[in-house]
Structures are given as structure tokens and as C-alpha cells.
Structure 1
Amino acid sequence: MADPRTIARQAVDALGGRANITDVENCITRLRVTVGSLDRVDESGLRAIDGVLGVVMDDTVQIVLGPGLVNEVADAMAAQAGADGIRPGSPERTDAAGLHARGEQIRGARKRRNQTPVKAFLRRIANIFLPLIPALIACGIIAGLNGVLTNFVTRGWAPWAAPVTPVLAAVASGFMTLIAVFVGMNAAKEFGGTPILGGAVAAIIPFAGVAKVTIAGEKLAPGQGGVIGALLAAILAAYLERWARRWAPRSLSMLVVPTFVVLVAGVLTIFPLMTLSGWLAQGIGDLANGLLQHGGALAGLVLAGLFLPLVMLGLHQALIPIHTTLIEQAGYTVLLPILAMAGAGQVGAAIALYVRLKHNAGIRSTIRSALPAGFLGVGEPLIYGVTLPLGRPFITACVGGAFGGMFVGLLNQLGTTVGSTAIGPSGWALFPLTNGSRGIGAAIAVYAGGLLVGYVVGFLATYFFGLSKAELRRLNDEGMDAESERTSAERV
């Protein structure tokens, strides 16, 4: 098992040394490292580190490690990046070097195309919500457990749980009640303001007292606008703060700037922003639900089929505000289980390649190491290490995911809504978070059915159409040649 400290030490060296690292953060699966110069980063060296599942070069260097390990490596790297005595490691290169090299070329071209203002803005929005994912997952699982116990109590199967369910409900709901505050703090920080001021302005949204405010004859509702309103309010506060600091006298800035920011941004939040963001949030909910109710199968096909390219670009995190809004409204997001089908298609495609390339030990070794993460919803190792460099298997993987999404979308259209009570995990890791209109049991069954469809279609599409006869022969011949060379070297 890979040692977090060893991974951190080798990663610091491959990232250009401690002097090149300016910030280290992590989400549920990825380590996100801000570096001074991307030119000093040894991407191949990062990929070769034992325990690293994939690398995405963007405005930050994203190192895919998987759940659990990423937290330990983040802590170790944060310590080692500022420590003396870090020496270059000597990680062993992985197999299937040709595929890795091709994947690196694709990532390099994608990185150059990806530096646009719109995509940079979306990444900033994603950075606001990433730190919230662990709490969202924890509260989602607790909410699911509480739902099961509540159902047992209602049916008389577990009377002992009656006093337990209110406690679990409070634990699960407390964070979601005040999520606007945390969004506000993170948004203010991301846009150059003071986090506590962003939180103070965003706290107006869940405040019960806004129910006494009347606009155009209608009273505001606490929580109106949700995380979208909090996001807009905090961004406004950050810009107002930066502007105020330019003109406020230095001797009075401690008093003038915070008061000005909270007062002006707070009033603007109460009047236009809560109303406008409330309309926007309601529109998102109506659109998502209407899309699946009236065109569920087609919608699922398109959404799941296009999600892998979004993951490839590293922009899938920009969907977090939409998922969070749906969770606020209904208790779960109906989009995440459908999008998770993209990973199922990827797994099916990888298994088909494993079967077809029986003489290519390098590619088969890469697939074996990446499949466990793929089953748990971490798709980058299979994308960048296997399917994308080969070309056509990436498309057949998307086809598998599309059919899995179509299955889940069709069941939504027929009345069995399937959603996730939190965001972050997918694959098998999403099972504890599933819920829907007909209860947890039905939701789990539909989600499992979608995964199975994605696996099977991804496998069949890749097995029969993923590789041309010439390419299949070439890859197997290369594998046999490599094995022959290795055997000869061992004899010598």
C-alpha cells in the first residue's frame, strides 16, 4: 500500500520542488496544487508515482489519488512543501508507456485550449463548493440513515428508534440550514474579499426575520434564493470591499469598510438578489424535474453520454451549485445518478479492452490498477490511462454511459425518481446516498440497474467496435514483443 509521506515527497519533487508550490488543497478524490510555474512540473514523474491514479494539468495541477488517501497526502505535502531536505525520488515508470505518452499529449493540447475566461470563471465557482463536499456527503448519509429508521418506526418495526430519529434529523439538517453562510465565506475569499464579511451578508438569506420584509406586496421567505443567492451576495460584497478599500481613509478603514460592505451588500441582497435568485433557483428545479418527467429517457441519454468529456476537461465540478440547489429544494439531486452512469460505461469499456488485449500485459496491468477506482466512480485513471489515448474506446465508453443514463431517465419518466442526497461520490460509492420518490429501496434498485446497463453496453460497444482489426492486431503484437524482450532480458 502506498505510503502518503512517500507520495508527498515524490510529488513535491515532481512539482518543481517546495519553492514552486504556493498552495495545496484537496477535494474528495483530487489533490489540487497551485504552482508558481507549470513549466517546472514533471507531469510524467507525477503519473509514475505509486498511488497516483491520474494527473490533470490545468491552472492548478490536479493529482487524482482517490478518497481517503488524498486527505493524508494533502496533509503530508503541506508539511513537506515547507520543509528542508526533500530529495528527488526515483519512481518506477508504469507500463503501457505509449498510451501514457499519447494521453499526455492530449492533456497538453486540452490545457492550451482550456484557458478561456468562461472556463476560468467556472473553475472559480467550483473552488467555492469543493471544500463543502465532505460535509455534504456526511449529512447526506446521515439523512439516508434517518430516513430508513423513520420508515421502520412508522411501520412499527423499530420502536426503539423513535427518540433517535429527531437527533439524526438535527445532525443531518443543521449544515444544510446554514449552507448559505459557508458558501458566502468561500465565495468572498475566492473573489478577493474577507470571508467573514461574505458570510455575514449571505447569512441574511436563511435569517427568519426576512419574513417580515415585504416587496411588491409579497413577503420574502427565509432561505429564498438559497446557495445561488448566497453566491451572488458574497461576490457583490467582495467587489464592494475591494472598491471601498481604495477610497476609505486608512485610519478609519477598520470601521468604515466592513460597515459599508455589510450595509450596502445586505440591502441589495434583501431586495433584488433574493427575489431574482429565488426565481433562478426555482427555474433550475423546474427545468431539471420537467426534463426528466417529459423527456427522461432522451435527457438521460444525452446528459450521461456527454458527461465524460466534461470530466476530461475538469469542468464537471461547475455543476455543484446546481446539484446543491436541487438538494436544498427536494432533499436530493436527480441529475447526479444519471451523470454517474458515464463512469459505468467507462468501466465496461475497460473490461472489454482487458478481454480483447489478452497479449498486451502493459495495458492490462494499467486496467487492473485503475478498475477499483473506476467502480468507485473515479474515472480519470481509465480516461487518461486507457480509453482516451486509444481514441475509439473513449467514444464507446460514452455510449455505454449514455444507455445507463437512458435507463435511469426512463424510470424517472415513469414515476420512480432517483436522486442523491449529497454530491461527490459516484459509482458504487453513491449507493448509501440514493433516495427518491418511492423510497430508498426503489432508488437503489433503479440506480443498480442503470450501472448494470452501463457496464454491459460499454463492454459490448467496446468489444465489437472499440478497436479496428488492424489496431487490435497491432496492440496484441506489441504486447507479445514486449513480453519477448522482457523474457530475453531476464535470461541474460
Structure 2
Amino acid sequence: MSEEPHMSVDKNHATAAAILPLVGGAANLSSIAHCMTRLRLGIRDRSLVQDEALKALPAVMGVVEDDTYQIVLGPGAVARITPEFERLAEEARATEPAAEPPTTADELAAQGATLKARQKARNATPVKLFLRRIANIFVPLIPALIGCGIVAGINGLLTNLGWLPSVVPALAAIASGFMSLIAVFVGYNTAKEFGGTPILGGAVAAIIVFPGVANITAFGQKLSPGQGGVLGALAAALLAVQVEKWCRKSVPEALDVLVTPTLTVLLSGLVTLFGLMYVAGEVSTAIGSFANWLLAHGGAFAGFVLGGLFLPLVMLGLHQALIPLHTTLIEQQGYTVLLPILAMAGAGQVGAALAVYLRLPRNRSIRTTIKSALPAGFLGVGEPLIYGVSLPLGRPFVTACIGGAFGGGFVGLFNQLGNAIGSTAIGPSGWALFPLIKGNQGIATTLVVYALGLAIGYLAGFLTTYFFGFSKQMLVDLNGPSAPAAVSTPRESVIA
């Protein structure tokens, strides 16, 4: 009996390995999912699928063509074969040769692309890959956070002005509905990202927001609906994934469709109610308290450090760890005080790019890149400027960070003085963040402080780059008669 799970895994792996080439290989798949009985595949080129060969496989009960290509494997079996199939497809994609990039005359852009690829390779560490998976859970939620955040801002403005009182309750419901159930979406995405059944992750996370939990006592205290928030939902869904995977290995296939979901919801739900909600609630409270304390007692210094380090954090992939913190603060306070400070990094980047533009009047290539990338930079999309201009040049990347530090320090100072500046959603930055700005003072004051922070970030990034962003040799090389587009002296770059 002890050999049965191992034999089952081998059988499932063999079935997945047999199916993959018959559907055209990993490159022919646009999506992979499963329902109760069928493996559902998005197919790019239908002509590459070998229907008759698939039907001849012992584990395949039939194929169905609908909006997706569906391979009938039966209950229990499909839930075991799909993870093996996904793993094989991922491995196949990883070993496929990368497409050759187009050759251009713009050597600076090419160097930026090389740096980006090198940094991506460096980011492939277990910790950074885990953070990336956490980001994959929250990033799909950003459009709803933005939409609901803007509606909340409009509702707050109408409330303060006393306009349209009959509409205010409707806007409040629209703005708050998603946030009241965000734990469910986090649970769903967590299970999906970590290889479980998404709906089971959502079902376990839904326990956290169920009003009836107020009748349950844990650790000597009555639970409250929503206690633990997104962190509790994340932990609950991760636990559900582990329970489900254990059940898939241990439960006979004939009973899988009944036993596995029942045990997953029951065991994970009990641990969530009598442990995770309380612990996650304490952690969430501590996060909110620490953020408020940090900015209240050392806001200027904290803002300077956060604003200055955010671009390097992005380069290292560590900024993804901040996404659950932002979401937790939004849940608790209605806004995150961290995002407006971090947004100053983009302002420093814009200021640095403007200085580069003026310091290299003969270099058409770099100036063209800056002109095309600046509009996106003002809206908080900094990647074109980072990888196309400042990072390949080296020194301007450092001076851009300094600009972000001064902007962050300014916004942090006002937090320290009692004027909290926050954002009701995550995602936008720069000018695009204005509709989402919120604080504990009047909206006009809050917007002015944020605008001044951007202005300081622009100015500091510009001045430090203009005066300290280039050595004499760099100016000679980049402003020479041929106006080369690349940094020809690697010793001048801070990126090895």
C-alpha cells in the first residue's frame, strides 16, 4: 500500500507527458486549466493537435472542442494529471531558445535590454521567485482597487461638498463592495498560483469575511468578520493548497471528488477560525501601527530612505514584498501611506532624464528615447526611462535615486507633522496617482503636499544629475562628433 501514491504520481506524469506533444507542445498552449472531469487547454494552432492519437491514450476518455480544447480524463484523475501537465509545460518553455532581439542602431537601448535581462536572471532566486508569486496573487486585483479607489474619492468629495446626497450611499456601496470581499479574491488567486483548486482557496478565505464568525471565540476573544484581512486569506489559502495536495496523493481516485474538497474546506477552515484569523489579525494590526509610528516619529528620514531605495528595490525584485503591506493598510485605514512616498522615486527618475536631455545636446538617439519615454514617466511608468536611459548610463540612475529620496523625505515630513498622505489603491504613480490621493486633512491640502513632493523629486533629480551625473570623459564620449548612443566606458557605469 505504501507504494500506491508513488505509482499514481508516475502514472499521472506519464499521462501528462504523453498528452503534451500531441497538443502541439508547450509553445502551442495559451492557457491550462481543469474542471471536474476535463483538462481544458487554450490552443494557438489547431492543426498541430493530434485528435486520434489523443483518443487512443488509455487515460483519455474522449476530447471535446468548445471555447477551449477539452480532454476528458475523469473525476479525480484530472486533478492529479493537470499539475503534472503544467509542470512539464513550464519546463518545456524554460528550455526553449529565446527569440533573437531585433538589431538596432541604438546601442544604449540594447545595453538597457541586456541589463534588464541580466537583472531578471539575478532575480531568479527562491526568495525572489516566491515574492513574484505573491505579486501574481495581488496584481490581478489592482484594476478593481483602482476603480473602487477612484469611486471612493469621488464619494468623499461629494460628501464633503454636500452635493448629491441621494447618490452618496450608492457610491459608497460601489466603492466598498470589493474591499469587503477582497479576502475571497486573494484566497482564489493564492490557490491558483500555488497549484490548488482556486475555488477551494476562495471558499476557505470566505470564512474570514462571513458575519457569523462573530459568534466564535478563539484565544479567549470573539472573532470579528474580516479579522486578519488579506494576510489571513493568504495564509488560509496556502494551507488549503497543502491539504488539497495531500488529499490528492492519499485519497483513492473513486472518492476524490467527494472527499478531497470536503477535507480541504473542513480542515483548513477549522485552522483558519481557531488560529490563523487571530494570528493574522495581530500581524495586520502590528503592520498598521508600525507604519503609523514610523512616519509619525521619523517621517522625514523614513521617507528619504524609502524614496531613495525604491528604484533599487524594483531592480532587485524586492518591491513585490510591499504589495500585501499596501493592501493591508488600505483595508485598515482606507489608504496606504507608503505609496505616495515610494512614488517619489519616479519623480527623481523624470528629473534625471530631463537633465540627461540637456547635458547631451548632440546625442540624438538618447534625446529621442527620452522624448518618447517622458510622457509615460510623468504618469508613473518609469521602466522606459530606467532601462533606456539612466541604468545603462550608470551615474544618472544613482542621481535619480537621490531625487526620489528628497521627494520622499518631503512627503514623509508632512506625515511626521500630522498630515498623512496616502493612496486609496496601488498601481498608479506620478500624476496618475492624483485621483487616488487621500489623507487625514482636507483634500486640497493633501493634493498640494503630494504635488510639492513630486516637484521636489523632479528638481532634486534634475540638479543632482545635471551637476554630478556625468564625468568629463562621459560627456566627451556621449557628445562627440558622432554622438554615440552607448556608454563606451564601462568604468563609468555603476552597473557591472
What TM-score does the superposition give when structure 2 sets the normalisation length? 0.79
SS at match of 1:431: helix
* 1:251 partner amino acid: A
Q: Deviations over 1:447-478 (max 9, x none)?
A: 10100000000000000000011111210105
Return the alpha-carbon distance in structure 2 between the equivalents of residues 18 and 375 of structure 1. Answer: 42
SS at match of 1:312: helix
- Say if 2:75 is the partner of 1:41: no
1:303 aligned partner:
306
Unmatched segments (≥5 aa) in structure 1: 1-16, 26-33, 49-92, 483-492
Instruction: Go from structure 1 to structure 2 and tell me whether the alpha carbon gap of 1:396 and 1:18 turns closer, same or farther (over 3 Å shift).
Output: farther
1:126 aligned partner:
135
* 1:236 partner amino acid: L
**Most deviating of 207-216 and 410-419:** 207-216
Instruction: Go from structure 1 to structure 2 and tell me whether the alpha carbon gap of 1:44 and 1:481 turns closer, same or farther (over 3 Å shift).
Output: closer
Instruction: Go from structure 1 to structure 2 and tell me whether the alpha carbon gap of 1:175 and 1:43 turns closer, same or farther (over 3 Å shift).
Output: farther
1:380 aligned partner:
383
Residues 22 and 36, structure 1, Cα contact 8 Å, conserved in 2: no
SS at match of 1:44: coil
Return the alpha-carbon distance in structure 1 between the equivalents of residues 410 and 229 of structure 2. Answer: 31
Displacement of 1:18 in angstroms is 10
What TM-score does the superposition give when structure 1 sets the normalisation length? 0.79
Q: Deviations over 1:198-240 (max 9, x none)?
A: 0110001011111111123310111100000000000100110
- Say if 2:145 is the partner of 1:145: no
* 2:350 partner amino acid: V
Residues 419 and 436, structure 1, Cα contact 8 Å, conserved in 2: yes
1:187 aligned partner:
190
Unmatched segments (≥5 aa) in structure 2: 1-23, 33-89, 486-496
Return the alpha-carbon distance in structure 2 between the equivalents of residues 172 and 348 of structure 1. Answer: 35
2:230 aligned partner:
227
Q: Deviations over 1:297-316 (max 9, x none)?
A: 00000001000012223442
Displacement of 1:23 in angstroms is 4.8
SS at match of 1:36: helix
- Say if 2:251 is the partner of 1:242: no
Return the alpha-carbon distance in structure 2 between the equivalents of residues 243 and 173 of structure 1. Answer: 37
- Say if 2:174 is the partner of 1:117: no
Identity of aligned residues (%): 65
Residues 21 and 36, structure 1, Cα contact 8 Å, conserved in 2: no
Residues 361 and 479, structure 1, Cα contact 8 Å, conserved in 2: no
Q: Which of residues 418, 429, 438 in structure 2 aligns to 1:415?
A: 418
- Say if 2:450 is the partner of 1:441: no
Displacement of 1:480 in angstroms is 4.1
Return the alpha-carbon distance in structure 2 between the equivalents of residues 275 and 315 of structure 1. Answer: 27
1:331 aligned partner:
334
Return the alpha-carbon distance in structure 2 between the equivalents of residues 439 and 276 of structure 1. Answer: 35
SS at match of 1:223: coil
Where does 1:48-87 land on structure 2 (aligned, <5 Å)? Answer: none
Aligned length: 404
Residues 360 and 478, structure 1, Cα contact 8 Å, conserved in 2: no
Q: Deviations over 1:426-466 (max 9, x none)?
A: 00000000000103222111110100000000000000000
Return the alpha-carbon distance in structure 1 between the equivalents of residues 372 and 110 of structure 2. Answer: 18
Displacement of 1:104 in angstroms is 3.0
Q: Which of residues 207, 210, 213 in structure 1 aligns to 2:213?
A: 210
1:79 aligned partner:
none
Displacement of 1:103 in angstroms is 2.0
Return the alpha-carbon distance in structure 2 between the equivalents of residues 457 and 341 of structure 1. Answer: 11
- Which has the higher Rg, Structure 1 or Structure 2? 2
Displacement of 1:39 in angstroms is 5.6
- Say if 2:334 is the partner of 1:277: no
Return the alpha-carbon distance in structure 1 between the equivalents of residues 430 and 406 of structure 2. Answer: 15
* 1:450 partner amino acid: G
- Say if 2:346 is the partner of 1:348: no
Residues 112 and 388, structure 2, Cα contact 8 Å, conserved in 1: yes
Residues 341 and 451, structure 1, Cα contact 8 Å, conserved in 2: yes
2:16 aligned partner:
none
Residues 478 and 484, structure 2, Cα contact 8 Å, conserved in 1: no
* 1:419 partner amino acid: G
* 1:112 partner amino acid: A
What is the root-mean-square deviation in Å for CA atoms of aligned residues? Answer: 1.9
Return the alpha-carbon distance in structure 2 between the equivalents of residues 261 and 18 of structure 1. Answer: 33
Return the alpha-carbon distance in structure 2 between the equivalents of residues 133 and 319 of structure 1. Answer: 14
* 1:469 partner amino acid: K
